[in-house]
Amino acid sequence: MKQSEDIQKAVECMRKGGVILYPTDTVWGIGCDATNAEAVARVYKIKHRDDSKALICLVDSDARLQRYVRNIPNVAWDLIDAVDKPTTIILDNAVNLAHNLIADDGSIGMRITNEPFSHELCFRFQKPVVSTSANISGNPAAQNFCDIDPELLSAVDYVCESRRNEHKPHKPSSIIKLSEKGEVTVIRK
């Protein structure tokens, strides 16, 4: 299957409220429409994860990020330009997202992806895509498709074909929290 066809099927699935398994700029991810609270609730259920633990989202561009976070501090743009590996930034004042995706303090973890598959997926979907590691909560993240628990494969609505044969090490993203005032806290290096 061509990558473009794979992406189209994943987009159609998410538009219908479905949950997907897909390759990202880091590890394999479980994804859905970040504006659909029912889909987000399914992701928590599939992962056996407490919904008080936040999930992150991928977007394809600066412009898309600005639609879902109000008042992004200037230091965030400097950080996005400076990093050379996938970095998730937790930002205050999340808007226009599913209520059960936003942390109690109003923040959201967002990452602009440049990896070809996940970037094109986000671009074609035209909204943020939930991106949480493809694993049952407490188990190791699936670095490659072959690492994904069969329970997850049967629990989602669509499993992407792209990059299934890849066998190389992948790491979760770095996570940095930025307050509205520009205070920086490193959560995960």
Read off the DSSP letter of residue 28: -
- Among the listed ranges 79-83, 88-92, 125-129, which one has the minimum average pLDDT value? 79-83
The residues near 187 (Cβ < 8 Å, ≥ 6 apart) are: 90, 175, 176, 177
The CATH superfamily of 3-188 is DHBP synthase (3.90.870.10)
Q: Check residue 138 and give left, alpha or beta (phi > 0: left; psi -120 to 50: alpha).
A: left
C-alpha to C-alpha distance for 147 and 26, rounded to whole angstroms: 14
Average pLDDT over residues 141-156: 96
Q: What dihedral do alpha carbons 8, 13, 19, 24 form, nearest 10°?
A: 10
C-alpha to C-alpha distance for 119 and 47, rounded to whole angstroms: 24
pLDDT at 135 over 90: yes
pLDDT of residue 170: 92
pLDDT at 155 over 80: yes
C-alpha to C-alpha distance for 163 and 165, rounded to whole angstroms: 6
pLDDT at 50 over 90: no
Q: Which pLDDT band holds residue 183 (cuts at 50, 70, 90)? A: confident
pLDDT at 182 over 80: no
Report the share of the chain in percent with pLDDT over 90: 89
Report the share of the chain in percent with pLDDT over 70: 100
Average pLDDT over residues 50-65: 92
